[in-house]
């Protein structure tokens, strides 16, 4: 077990120009992070042994100084990822050359995506993918949030359309089961079917975890406070996790002081054990927890690791033009 987390979920803004039906962010306050504090925080996190920085929000492409943050992160040798959507992504091209991973979020075809987001998000995403195909050397994924239920998008029509787009622009597809989603066995089996497509990543570990009921507070998987440093846009260390922030520690005395605080120590004992933790599958915390010292289900970890290795293999083959993307299985409506 490491003393400090290796992963940082850095919220650059609470603003977002989309209105996704599945959104869990509070976008009412419209707060941006402070650039100087963010730069200092990235440097401090590196000194404490951090290796992975996920830039998030809100919609992180809305902040004008995104390039400055990503440049500092690259200079500090972080592995960086960011999820983008909408027309503003195209105005951040200089910045978006830098991350190791850019995820372009889409829920389905143009009609479905725009309706789900209540804005015209699809066509800018397509334009961005076309640019990324030409200009980005690091990985670009389409992150397809699989939404369960009768109003969800788990059907061949939506997945097929995303797969077709990914193949056109040589992007990988990351199949992301909506956390907290109430998936039926059939829906989960459908996701497994999609995962067999070349160039598609779906963690079979996630699938097993969901099918086994998610986090169990009596025997918790989640180590949110130990494994992830979550920083809110208004400059606080958030505990135990972004989605259920019951405590916020100011960073005025520095990141290390916040991580060493008595409040965080308290959360190290109760993380994953709170009432709202029952059945949780918030991947930003659950997946890093799998790879910490506490291995609750070795099969989940092995399945997740295997899925990741397959994804890396597909991306490598694609980079050398060896991945045969042009032959979809016939049961998809492409």
What does the binding site for ligand SF4 look like in residue numbers (CB under 6 A)? 16, 18-20, 23, 25, 57-59, 85, 215, 222, 224, 240-241, 243-244, 271-272, 274, 276-277, 280, 282, 285
Least distance in Å: CB of 125 to ligand SF4?
11
**Shortest spacing between CB 186 and ligand SF4, in angstroms:** 25
Task: Tell me whether residue 58 or residue 199 sits nearer to ligand SF4 (CB atom).
Answer: 58
Q: What's the closest the beta carbon of residue 316 comes to ligand SF4, in angstroms?
A: 30
Cα gap 75→94, rounded to integer Å: 16
Q: Tell me whether residue 27 or residue 43 sits nearer to ligand SF4 (CB atom).
A: 27
Query: Please, which residue, 124 or 199, has the CB nearer to ligand SF4?
Result: 124
Query: What's the first-to-final CA gap in the chain, in angstroms?
Result: 46
Contact present, 311 and 195 (Cβ < 8 Å): no
E-strand stretches of the chain:
7-11, 52-56, 79-84, 101-106, 139-146, 172-177, 200-201, 228-231, 236-240, 245-250
Q: How far apart are CA 99 and CA 78, in angstroms?
A: 9
From the CB of 12, what's the least distance to ligand SF4, in Å? 11
- Smallest separation (angstroms) from ligand SF4 to the CB of 215: 4
For ligand SF4, the closer CB: 219 or 316: 219
> Which is closer to ligand SF4, CB of 20 or CB of 204?
20
Q: Which is nearer to ligand SF4, 76 or 110 (CB)?
A: 110
Beta-sheet strand order (sheet of 101-106): 200-201, 172-177, 139-146, 101-106, 79-84, 52-56, 7-11, 228-231, 236-240, 245-250
Q: C-beta of 4: minimal distance to ligand SF4 in Å?
A: 18
């Amino acid at each position: 077990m490491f003393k400090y987390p290796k992963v940082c979920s850095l919220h650059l803004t609470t603003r977002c120009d989309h209105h996704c039906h599945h959104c869990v962010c509070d976008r009412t306050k419209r707060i941006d992070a402070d650039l100087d504090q963010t730069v200092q925080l990235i440097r401090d996190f590196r000194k404490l042994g951090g290796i992975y920085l996920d830039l998030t929000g809100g919609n992180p492409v809305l902040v004008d100084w995104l390039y400055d943050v990503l440049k500092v992160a690259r200079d500090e040798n972080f592995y960086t990822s960011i999820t983008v959507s909408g027309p503003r992504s195209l105005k951040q091209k200089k910045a978006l050359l830098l991350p190791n991973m850019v995820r372009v979020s889409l829920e389905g075809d143009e009609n479905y995506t725009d309706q789900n987001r209540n804005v015209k998000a699809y066509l800018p995403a397509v334009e961005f993918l076309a640019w990324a195909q030409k200009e980005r050397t690091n990985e670009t994924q389409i992150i397809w949030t699989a939404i369960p239920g009768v109003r969800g998008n788990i059907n061949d029509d939506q997945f097929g359309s995303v797969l077709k787009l990914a193949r056109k622009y040589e992007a990988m597809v990351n199949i992301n089961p909506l956390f907290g989603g109430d998936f039926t066995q059939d829906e989960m089996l459908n996701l497994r079917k999609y995962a067999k497509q070349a160039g598609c990543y779906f963690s079979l570990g996630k699938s097993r975890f969901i099918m086994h009921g998610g986090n169990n507070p009596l025997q918790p998987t989640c180590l949110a406070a130990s494994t992830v440093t979550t920083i809110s846009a208004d400059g606080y260390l958030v505990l135990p996790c972004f989605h259920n922030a019951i405590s916020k520690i100011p960073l005025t005395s520095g990141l290390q002081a916040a991580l060493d605080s008595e409040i965080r120590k308290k959360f190290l004992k109760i993380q994953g054990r709170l009432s709202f933790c029952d059945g949780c599958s918030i991947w930003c915390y659950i997946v890093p927890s799998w790879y910490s010292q506490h291995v609750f289900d070795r099969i989940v970890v092995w399945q997740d690791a295997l899925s990741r290795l397959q994804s890396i293999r597909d991306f490598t083959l694609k980079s050398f033009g060896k991945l045969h993307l042009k032959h979809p299985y016939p049961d998809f409506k492409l």
